[in-house]
Structure 1
Amino acid sequence: MLAPEADSHANQSNDYAVSRPRAWFAFAMIFLLMLSDYIDRQIVVSLFPHLKEEWGLSDKQLGALVSVISVVVAVGSLPVALLADRFGRVKSIVAMASVWSVATIACMFARNYGQLFGARAVVGLGETGYGAVGSALVNGLFPRRLHSTLLGAFFAASALGAVLGVMLGGFIADHWGWRAAFGAVGFPGLAMALLFMMVPDYKNVVVKFAPKVQSPSPAAFVKRLYTALTSGQTLLWVCLAGASQLIVVSTIWAWMPSFFNRYHDMDATSAAKHAALVVLCCAVGALFWGWVADRISQRRPRNKLLAMCVLTLLTFVVLTYAFVGNISTNLQHALILLGSFLMTCTVGVTTSTVLNVTHPGLRATGSAVLALFQNLFGLAVGPFVGGLISDAWGLNTALAVIPSIAILSAICFWKASRCYETDMVLVAAIARDEAQGIAPQDDAHVMRPLSAKA
């Protein structure tokens, strides 16, 4: 067994893996591409009224145009991240961003629902793994003390991208038609994808599994991979917690323009502006709560997970009352904004926690496991299930019921808090042993990965 390069453990240190200016340039580009990712992903929600009128679509069909991206991302995130860990994050991101931008441009040429659905699926194919690989790149380039803050900012970019997508989509569609909206955001994304080739990468760590472990079945392979990724239950509980909260987030994001259009008699442009303000509160909340988490976890790392228990429960209370309470329009808007500020509290914390209990050589892969949960069991569920409930009982009912899932998120965060600090110590010990060239001493640890220089 060969010791990994020192840079491979940069995420556990207080130093930058590259020069500070290069690291911050990398973050700027990662942030901008996350904007492009969610502009392209969310622009369609402000086009729902136009698509519904032109093609006579149901809410279930409209929601599927959002959910299909999350399903594709969930299925592809893990293999893409495994390849990115092996061949490099920057090359992978350039390829992914090029694909999703070209597919967004193709949406403007769709002549029926099936063609648009297919193009949206290809957008998801391009976006597969970007959140995982981008967060791994941030984690590898920056010192540990900045992780939750920067990852919160990274995922705040998704909210800002959604804001821009919703606003641009509504404005462009009202003036030049919904087809022009896709082209207007696809071409800039393609330009940024090419510029990303200038971003530095951190050195690869190739992870080799002990040859005596066999994987005769898919279940055995999953168990083997999970054991290689981490040493405890934190990863699973945090993935479940993050996914549950994202059901609430994705529902609010997808259906706010339609809610304002149907229940407050706003035109597409006005509804898009109000919905964009909601998503902007999400962006501010992601950044703010990531900063708070970094501060309160300096002495006891588990404190940030306990804080998430409280904040997710508050999300449930505020949003549920906003849609079921007999209140004025202004108060309802204020509660929706407050709930939006609260509901993205988990994004930076969830990612930083997963990376802190993941083997250093499998950061992108660990992030991909989280992305699989977030997309398949979170982002894909909200818009589609919201559409189903809306078709049956009305959109207001859907928006009132779905925030209750935040209770499940709180329970999972509490479970994770009980084992988080222990799992951090175990993963750090494995990384330290490998850096010193110390092999596992017993058969109970044969599934630990053996690191070698790339």
Structure 2
Amino acid sequence: MAHFHVDDNNTEDDAPSVSRTYAWIVFALTFGLLISDYMSRQVLNAVFPLLKGEWALTDTQLGLLSGIVALMVGLLTFPLSLLADRFGRVRSLTIMAVLWSLATLGCAVAENYEQMFIARFLVGVGEAAYGSVGIAVVVSVFPRSMRATLSAAFISGGMFGSVLGMATGGILAEHFGWRWAFAGMATFGLMLAILYPIIVRESRIAPKRVVTAASKAADKVSRPLRTLYSSRSVLSAYVGSGLQLFVGGTVIVWMPSFLNRYYGMATDRAGAVASIIVLCSGIGMVLCGILSDRMCRNRPDRKISLCIAYCLGSCALLSLAFALPFGIPQLVLICVGMLIAAGTSGPAGAMVANLTHYKVHGTAFATLTLANNLLGLATGPLITGKVSDMIGLDKAFQLVPLISIASAAVFLYAKRHYHNDMDRLKNNGVDETATEALVEIQP
């Protein structure tokens, strides 16, 4: 059975000691749990219309059911990731998957809004650190030279899981009732959670590590933790990214309800159409990231200009789309707008990596995740639900893209200070080239 070889980018001590086949099995199972994660998270969006009708819920209440998961993910990602490093990553991932699956099953048997809220809260707790811990497991069994590809592929699982969650959930809800939509997601997650620790063993996936080079480099930098917040540019990256995800996250959450109310689509068809829009967002995220890397290889500051362009472009396209009469042209333009709505994710991550010391990149990305969830993914659906209760969801959607203007303004502020901030970091021993490359392997 073939083993991965040690190449120029992979030292002997850092090389994986597992076979190629076993490494891909680990990837498949970890990727499968990531898909389960997002299926359990997004299935709720597909059954919004049914819950609203059965329990007489307001849009504010529905938005809170969605936002509480993102809020818990944002608040708990960093502390739970630290616990996982100490407790054991495989064991931690298994516990996470069991928790979010059982909590999703709790959604299926909830008798009222309060019980559903508690179950969704627990879904968020279970899913909080899966992304960061899961990618750590994946990269530990592959050569360093493959980490960028694997990271990109792993992160894309979130979009695929969202698509499957809304589409499959809509079909199950339409034919068997909304409770079976949650039960189906829970069953899938529990099956993988049982299988995962049987096949993936902590002792097999942990490669040997060396820290001599890291220690020497760290000696050049005083207080690397301060780079998390010491520059105006990095603070702007956090805020700008979070504000822009307000737009994309809101459209994803409320689109099934929008299609149900204004297009008269049943839950299965609304979920399927909404999943296409989510898929456009995922594809756009990857394409915008590729464009950013190719255009900004020698000029990292151009990434900020692209962020501004993505913000203003999505604002124009989505504003026009939601101003159009209901119909195919509107849906097509929404898809086009969503192609670039999440395009800031890659460049914003690169900014964070450039502007913080590599030794604290894990904490930096946890901070970015916190900003994304608190400013965007959790806040967007809730505020939009409140506005929808007052003026209607169609009118609320017309206002949502305007948040992108605020995001563009924040990135413009970052651009004005970026070079000065980078010069200050270089003087403290942070190498721009190294941090630029490391963003591609961070979870």
Q: For each residue in 1:73-119, what CA deviation from the matched residue of structure 2 results, as whole angstroms up to 9, or x when unmatched?
A: 22212211333455554443333222212211221111111111100
Q: 1:227 to 1:205 in 2, by over 3 A?
A: farther
Q: Which residue number corresponds to residue 402 of structure 1?
A: 400
Pair 26,119 (structure 1): closer, same or farther in 2 beyond 3 Å: same
Task: State the SS of the aligned residue for 2:299.
Answer: coil
2:410 corresponds to which residue? 412
Q: d(CA) in 2 for partners of 1:400 and 1:334?
A: 16
Give the distance between the partners of 1:427 and 1:136, measured in 2 at CA. Answer: 26
Range moving further from structure 2, 354-363 or 274-283: 354-363
Change (3 A) 1:152 1:237: farther
| TM-score, length of structure 1 as denominator length | 0.79
Measure the CA separation in 2 of the matches of 1:126 and 1:381. 20
CA contact (8 A) 1:145 1:294 kept: no
* Distance in 2 (alpha carbons) for counterparts of 1:194 and 1:303: 46
Superposed CA offset, 1:388-410 (max 9, x none): 01000010111110111112222
Deviations 1:157-181 (A, max 9, x none): 2222111111111110111111111
> What's the counterpart of residue 435 of structure 1?
none
Map of 1:300 onto structure 2? 299
Alpha-carbon distance between aligned partners in 2 of 1:297 and 1:431, rounded to the nearest angstrom: 12
Q: CA deviation at 1:24?
A: 5.5
Measured after TM superposition, the shift of residue 297 of structure 1 is 2.7
- Whether 1:317 aligns to 2:355 is no
Q: 1:385 to 1:300 in 2, by over 3 A?
A: same
Give 1:416 deviation, angstroms.
3.7
Structure with more relative contact order (C-alpha pairs < 8 Å, separation 6 or more):
1
- Structure 2 counterpart of 1:129, one-letter code: A
Q: Give how far 1:228 is off.
A: 6.2
Kept in 1: contact 2:354–2:432 (CA 8 A): no
1:401-440 deviation line (CA, Å, top 9, x unaligned): 01111122223333444247547745645999xxxxxxxx
Deviation at 1:301, TM superposition (A): 2.2
| SS of equivalent residue, structure 1 residue 266 | coil
Q: How far is 1:284 from its partner?
A: 1.0
* Residue 371 of structure 1, aligned match among 362, 369, 372: 369
Change (3 A) 1:63 1:263: same
Contact 1:77 1:368 in 2 (8 A): yes
Provide the rounded CA distance (Å) in 2 between the counterparts of 1:265 and 1:427: 59
d(CA) in 1 for partners of 2:341 and 2:147?
Answer: 22
Give per-residue Cα distances to partners, 1:323-378, cap 9 Å, x unaligned. Answer: 124x5622111110001111121233333443454444433322211111111111
Output the CA distance in 2 between the equivalents of 1:406 and 1:272.
26
Structure 2: runs of 5+ lacking an equivalent = 1-7, 216-222, 435-443
Superposed CA RMSD = 3.3
Deviations 1:188-243 (A, max 9, x none): 223333555427356679999xxxxxxxxxxxxxxx88416576444322211211
- 1:374-453 equivalent positions in 2, closer than 5 A: 374-417=372-415, 418-419=418-419, 421-422=422-423, 425=426, 426=428, 428=430
Distance of 2:224 and 2:430 partners within structure 1? 18
Among all aligned residue pairs of Structure 1 and Structure 2, give the percentage whose two residues are the same amino acid.
37
TM-score by length of 2: 0.81
Partner of 1:264: 263
Answer yes or no: is the 8 Å Cα contact 1:281–1:341 preserved in 2: yes
Aligned length: 404
Distance in 1 (CA, whole Å) between partners of 2:30 and 2:346 is 15
